C-alpha cells in the first residue's frame, strides 16, 4: 500500500500544535492572538498549572470522595514511583500487568469472551476492541468478543445464542461490584453455563472478575486467582487502562495493550510538562471555554472520520458529561459553565444525518473533526476511498467556517461555525491511547477551569433509588397501586397501565 510521506509539522500554520505526533489545528476557532493570550492568562490565574501538578502528584483532587484521580499511574510505563498518601502504587500496578501477561500466555482454546460490564466498565474497552480490530497490522486471536451491558435481555439472548458454553470465558467487570445490570447479567451467564452442562469446576475456570471490590467478587463465586483488582483512586470512566483493558491483551496480545498504555502515558507527559500555550488538552479546553463565553454554545460534536472510531463519541459522552455535567462547583456554589451536550458518530456517515443543522441551524455547535492520515485497510481501493474521506472532512470544516451567501435564504450558510481538526498519523494502539488520554486530560482541564470536581457522579444515584419501589410494584403484578412517597401519580398510572 502506498501512503504519502508524513508532512513535517514545520509546514503547518501557527494555529497548529503537535504532541505525540498528534496534530491539533485550531485555525477555524476564529480566536485571535489577543484572545488566546487572555485565555492562557485566565487559565494561569485560576491556577490550572497547580491543578495539573496536583493531579499527577496524587493529591486528593476528588474532594467529595476524598481521593486522588490517579488513572495516569495505570499507564505509567516508566514505573517511576507514584505516591498515594506516601505509598508508591506502582508495585501493585506492575503486578497486575504481570498477571495480565501471564494470563495471555495460557489463554488457549477460548472461542468466546463475554464481557459483562456497563458504563465505564464497558465503553472504553468496547471502543478499543472495535477500533483495533480495524488495524491491519494487529493480529487478533479471533475470539468472538461479546459485550453484555444492558439489562434488556435482548442483548443477553443474542449473545447466548451464539457463544459456545464449553469454550466461553466470562469476565465480570465492575468497579463497585454492586451495579444491578452487571450483577443480573453475570448471574444469567452463570445459569446458562450450568444449564449447558458445564461442571462446577469448568464454571469456576470460566469466570473472571475485574473490580475494586475483591471481597464482593469472591462472594459472587469468582476464584481469587481469576480476580484482577483495581483501586478506588481510579474513576470508573477512567478505568480502561487498568485490568478493565484485559481483553485488549487477550485478543490482540500483551504488546498491543502496552502500546495502548504507552500512547496514553506519552500524552500524560505532554499534559504534565508542556507550557499551557503548547498543551493540546489545555488548548482544546480553552477553545471550548471561549465558545461558551462568546457564542453561548450548549452542545459540541466529535466526528471521527474513521469508522474504527465509531464508538469514540459514546465513550466521550460518559467522559465529558458524567465528569462535568454538574451545576455545583467544588466549593458547593453554582457554576457559570459546565459540560455542553456531547454527541457524534463517524464521518462521512454523520454528514448524511445531522450536518444540515450544523450548517444552517440556529445553534452554533463546535465540532472536533478527527482525521487519520493513513487508511485503515490495505485493499487496492483504500487510498482512493481515503482521499474522499479526508476531502469530505476538510470540506465540511471549511464550509462551516466560511459559510456562503446567496440570494435565496434557503441557500445561505451563515458560517463562522468553529471547529478543531485533529490529525492522527495512523490509528494503532499507541495513537488510540494518546487520543483517549488527550480527551481525558481535556476533561480534567475543563473541570478545573469550571471549578467542577470531574471525578464523582452523584447525579446517577437518585434514579437508581427510585427504580427499586417501581420494580417492586411491577413485580407485584396486577394490583392497582396508588401514589406513595416514592411513586408519584403519573408514575403510578404508568405502572398500572403496564400491569393491566
Ligand atoms: O451509574 C453510573 C456508574 O456508576 C458509572 O460511573 C460507572 O462507570 C458505571 O455505573 C458502572 O459502575 P461499576 O463499574 O461499578 O459497575
pLDDT tens digits for range 241-291: 999 999 999 999 999 999 999 999 999 999 999 999 999 999 999 999 999
Residue 3 above 60 pLDDT? no
Residue ID of nearest Cα to ligand 1 atom 2:
460
CATH of 16-66+263-458, picked from 3.60.20.40, 3.30.460.10, 3.40.50.10490, 2.60.120.10, is 3.40.50.10490
Specify the pTM.
Answer: 0.96
Residue 364 CA: distances (Å) to CA of 30, 180, 418, 439: 13, 39, 8, 21
- pLDDT tens digit sequence for 44-102: 999 999 999 999 999 999 999 999 999 999 999 999 999 999 999 999 999 999 999 99
Q: What share of the chain is helix, strand, coil (3-state, %, to 5)?
A: 55, 15, 35
| 176 C-beta closer than 6 A to ligand 1 | yes
With beta carbons less than 8 A apart as the criterion, state whether 109 and 170 touch. no
Would you call the peptide bond into 177 cis, given omega within 30 degrees of 0 as the criterion? no
Residue 142 above 90 pLDDT? yes
| Span from the CA of 121 to the centroid of ligand 1 (angstroms) | 7
Say if 16-66+263-458 and 107-252 have the same CATH topology.
yes
Report the CATH number of the 107-252 domain: 3.40.50.10490
Candidates 151, 176, 321, 466: which one to mutate for ligand 1, based on the most atoms within 8 Å of Cβ?
176
In degrees and rounded to multiples of 5, residue 23 shows phi and psi of: -105, 135
Predicted confidence band of residue 10 (pLDDT cuts 50, 70, 90)? low
The region of weakest confidence among 251-260, 392-401, 476-485 is 476-485
With beta carbons less than 8 A apart as the criterion, state whether 385 and 393 touch. no
Task: Note the pLDDT of residue 9.
Answer: 59
Q: What is the DSSP letter of 244?
A: G
Three cell numbers, residue 301: 460534536
SS3 46: coil
Catalytic positions, please?
Answer: 322, 352, 464
Dist. CA 195–CA 191, nearest whole Å: 6
Domain ranges of the chain: 16-66+263-458, 107-252, 461-499
Task: Note the pLDDT of residue 476.
Answer: 82
3 CB contacts (<8 Å, ≥6 apart)? 373, 374, 375, 383
Average pLDDT score over the chain: 95
Predicted confidence band of residue 2 (pLDDT cuts 50, 70, 90)? very low
The region of weakest confidence among 145-154, 208-217, 465-474 is 465-474
Predicted confidence band of residue 378 (pLDDT cuts 50, 70, 90)? confident
With beta carbons less than 8 A apart as the criterion, state whether 287 and 32 touch. no
The residue whose grid cell reads 397501565 is 497
- pLDDT tens digit sequence for 298-346: 999 999 999 999 999 999 999 999 999 999 999 999 999 999 999 999 9
| 118 C-beta closer than 6 A to ligand 1 | yes
Amino acid at each position: 500500500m502506498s501512503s504519502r510521506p508524513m508532512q513535517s509539522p514545520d509546514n503547518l500554520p501557527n494555529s497548529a500544535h503537535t504532541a505525540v505526533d498528534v496534530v491539533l489545528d485550531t485555525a477555524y476557532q476564529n480566536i485571535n492572538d489577543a484572545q488566546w493570550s487572555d485565555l492562557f492568562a485566565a487559565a494561569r490565574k485560576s491556577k490550572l498549572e497547580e491543578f495539573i501538578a496536583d493531579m499527577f502528584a496524587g493529591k486528593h483532587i476528588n474532594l467529595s470522595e476524598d481521593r486522588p484521580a490517579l488513572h495516569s499511574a495505570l499507564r505509567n510505563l516508566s514505573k517511576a514511583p507514584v505516591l498515594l498518601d506516601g505509598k508508591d502504587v506502582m508495585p501493585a500496578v506492575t503486578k497486575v500487568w504481570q498477571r495480565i501477561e501471564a494470563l495471555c500466555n495460557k489463554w488457549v482454546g477460548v472461542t468466546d469472551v463475554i464481557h459483562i460490564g456497563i458504563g465505564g466498565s464497558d465503553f472504553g474497552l468496547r471502543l478499543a476492541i472495535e477500533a483495533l480490530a480495524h488495524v491491519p497490522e494487529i493480529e487478533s486471536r479471533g475470539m468472538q468478543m461479546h459485550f453484555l451491558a444492558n439489562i434488556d435481555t435482548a442483548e443477553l439472548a443474542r449473545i447466548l445464542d451464539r457463544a459456545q458454553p464449553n469454550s466461553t470465558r466470562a469476565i465480570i467487570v465492575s468497579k463497585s461490584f454492586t451495579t444491578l445490570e452487571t450483577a443480573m447479567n453475570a448471574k444469567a451467564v452463570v445459569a446458562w453455563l450450568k444449564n449447558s452442562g458445564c461442571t462446577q469446576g469448568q464454571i469456576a475456570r470460566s469466570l473472571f472478575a475485574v473490580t475494586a471490590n475483591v471481597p464482593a467478587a469472591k462472594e459472587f463465586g469468582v476464584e481469587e486467582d481469576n480476580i484482577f483488582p483495581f483501586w478506588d483512586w481510579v474513576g470508573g470512566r477512567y478505568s480502561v487502562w487498568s485490568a478493565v483493558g484485559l481483553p485488549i491483551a487477550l485478543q490482540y496480545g500483551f504488546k498491543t495493550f502496552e502500546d495502548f498504555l504507552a500512547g496514553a502515558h506519552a500524552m500524560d507527559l505532554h499534559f504534565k510538562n508542556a507550557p499551557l500555550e503548547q498543551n493540546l488538552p489545555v488548548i482544546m479546553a480553552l477553545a471550548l471555554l471561549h465558545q461558551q463565553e462568546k457564542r453561548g454554545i450548549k452542545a459540541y460534536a466529535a466526528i471521527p472520520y474513521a469508522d474504527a472510531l465509531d464508538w469514540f463519541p459514546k465513550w466521550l459522552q460518559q467522559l465529558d458529561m458524567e465528569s462535568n455535567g454538574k451545576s455545583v462547583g467544588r466549593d458547593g456554589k453554582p457554576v457559570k459553565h459546565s459540560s455542553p451536550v456531547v454527541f457524534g458518530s463517524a464521518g462521512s456517515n454523520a454528514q448524511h444525518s445531522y450536518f444540515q443543522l450544523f450548517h444552517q441551524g440556529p445553534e452554533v455547535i463546535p465540532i472536533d473533526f478527527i482525521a487519520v492520515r493513513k487508511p485503515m485497510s490495505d485493499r487496492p481501493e483504500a487510498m482512493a476511498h481515503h482521499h474522499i474521506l479526508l476531502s469530505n472532512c476538510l470540506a465540511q470544516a471549511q464550509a462551516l467556517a466560511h459559510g456562503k451567501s446567496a440570494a435565496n435564504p434557503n441557500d445561505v450558510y451563515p458560517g463562522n461555525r468553529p471547529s478543531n481538526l485533529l490529525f492522527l498519523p495512523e490509528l494503532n494502539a499507541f495513537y488510540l491511547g494518546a487520543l483517549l488520554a488527550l480527551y481525558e486530560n481535556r476533561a480534567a482541564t475543563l473541570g478545573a477551569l469550571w471549578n467542577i470536581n470531574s471525578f464523582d457522579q452523584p447525579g446517577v444515584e437518585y434514579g437508581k433509588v427510585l427504580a427499586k419501589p417501581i420494580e417492586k410494584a411491577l413485580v407485584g403484578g396486577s394490583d392497582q397501586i396508588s401514589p406513595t412517597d416514592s411513586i408519584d401519580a403519573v408514575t403510578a398510572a404508568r405502572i398500572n397501565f403496564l400491569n393491566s
